[in-house]
Amino acid sequence: MADDLFNSFMNGPDEKGRFGDFGGRFVSETLMPLILELEAQYEHAKTDQSFWDEMEFLWKHYVGRPSPLYFAERLTEELGGAKIYLKRDELNHTGAHKINNVLGQIILARRMGKTRIIAETGAGQHGVATATVCAKFGLKCIVYMGAHDVERQAPNVFRMKLLGAEVVPVTSGRGTLKDAMNDALRDWVTNVRDTFYCIGTVAGPHPYPAMVRDFQAIIGKEAKEQMMEAEGRLPDTIIAAIGGGSNAMGLFYPFLDDKSVRIIGVEAGGKGVNEKMEHCASLTGGRPGVLHGNRTYLLQDEDGQILEGHSISAGLDYPGIGPEHSWLHDIGRAEYVSITDTEALEAFQLLCQTEGIIPALEPSHAMGHVMKIAGDLPKDHIICMNLCGRGDKDIFTVAKALGTDMAGLSD
Amino acid sequence: MTRIDDKFAALRAEGKKAFVAYLMAGDPDAATSMEVMKGLPDAGVDIIELGVPFTDPMADGPTIQLAGQRALEGGMTLQKTLDMAAEFRKGDDTTPIVLMGYYNPIYNRGVARFLDDAKAAGVDGLIVVDLPPEEDDELCIPAQKAGLNFIRLATPTTDDKRLPKVLTNTSGFVYYVSITGITGSAEAEAADVGPEVARIKAQTDLPIIVGFGIKTPERSEAIAKVADGSVVGSAIVDLIGKGKPVAEVLDFVKGLADGAHRA
- Work out the average pLDDT over A221-232: 98
B93 reaches A (C-beta below 8 A): no
Q: Which fold has domain A64-95+217-402?
A: Rossmann fold (3.40.50)
Q: Residue B134 and residue A16: Cβ atoms within 8 Å? A: yes
Instruction: Count CA atoms closer than 13 A to A220's CA, side-chain side.
Output: 24
- The whole-number mean pLDDT for each consecutive block of 10 residues of chain B, a chain of 263 residues, reads 95 97 97 98 98 95 94 98 98 98 98 98 98 97 98 92 95 92 78 92 96 92 96 96 97 98 95
Residue in B46, B49, B124, B196 annotated catalytic:
B49
Among the residues of chain B, which ranges form H helices?
3-14, 30-39, 62-73, 78-91, 103-109, 111-120, 140-145, 163-167, 190-201, 217-226, 234-241, 246-262
Q: Residue A290 and residue B130: Cβ atoms within 8 Å? A: yes
Using CA coordinates, name the residue in chain B closest to A307.
Answer: B55
- Picking from B163, B183, B189, B168, the residue whose alpha carbon sits closest to that of residue B231 is B183
Q: Residue A30 and residue B177: Cβ atoms within 8 Å? A: yes
- Work out the average pLDDT over A324-336: 98
CATH assignment at residue B190: 3.20.20.70
B181 reaches A (C-beta below 8 A): yes
- Work out the average pLDDT over A194-218: 98
Give the closest of B58, B102, B132 to A186, CB-based. Answer: B58
- Work out the average pLDDT over A315-320: 86
Chain region(s) in chain A for CATH 3.40.50.1100: 19-60+98-207, 64-95+217-402
Strands (DSSP E) contained in A49-198 are 69-71, 83-87, 116-121, 140-146, 166-170, 195-197
Range of the structural domain that residue B171 is part of: 3-262
What are the distances in angstroms from CA A280 to CA A175, A238, A286, A316, B141? 16, 21, 9, 7, 34
**Residues above pLDDT 70, as percent of chain A:** 97
* CA angle at A280 for the pair A275 and A284, rounded to the nearest 5°: 65
Using CA coordinates, name the residue in chain A closest to B186.
Answer: A190
Mean pLDDT for chain A overall = 94
Residue A2, pLDDT above cutoff 50: no
Q: How confident is the model at residue A405 (pLDDT cuts 50, 70, 90)?
A: confident
pLDDT at A309: 83
- Picking from A294, A99, A115, A126, the residue whose alpha carbon sits closest to that of residue A196 is A115
- Work out the average pLDDT over A20-36: 96
For residue A121, the cross-strand partners are A145
Active site residue B49: yes
Residue B208's contacts (CB-CB under 8 Å, 6 or more residues apart) are B173, B174, B176, B197, B200, B201, B227, B228
Residue A411, pLDDT above cutoff 80: no
pTM of the predicted model as reported, rounded to 2 decimal places: 0.96
Q: What is the pLDDT of residues A98-144, one digit of tens each?
A: 999 999 999 999 999 999 999 999 889 999 999 999 999 999 999 99
Domain A19-60+98-207 has CATH 3.30.479.30: no
Q: Residue B104 and residue A28: Cβ atoms within 8 Å? A: no
Residue A410, pLDDT above cutoff 70: no
Residue in B46, B60, B196, B238 annotated catalytic:
B60
Instruction: Count CA atoms closer than 13 A to B46's CA, side-chain side.
Output: 29
Q: How many domains does chain B have?
A: 1
The answer to whether the beta carbons of residues A322 and A246 sit under 8 Å apart is yes
Q: What is the pLDDT of residues A232-284, one digit of tens each?
A: 999 999 999 999 999 999 999 999 999 999 999 999 999 887 767 788 889 98
The rounded distance, in Å, linking the Cα atoms of A129 and A131 is 6
Residue A172, pLDDT above cutoff 90: no
pLDDT at A409: 58
DSSP string over A321-369: --HHHHHHHHHTSSEEEEEEHHHHHHHHHHHHHHHS--B-HHHHHHHHH
The helix (H) or strand (E) run that includes residue B146 is: none
pLDDT at A1: 41
pLDDT at A272: 86
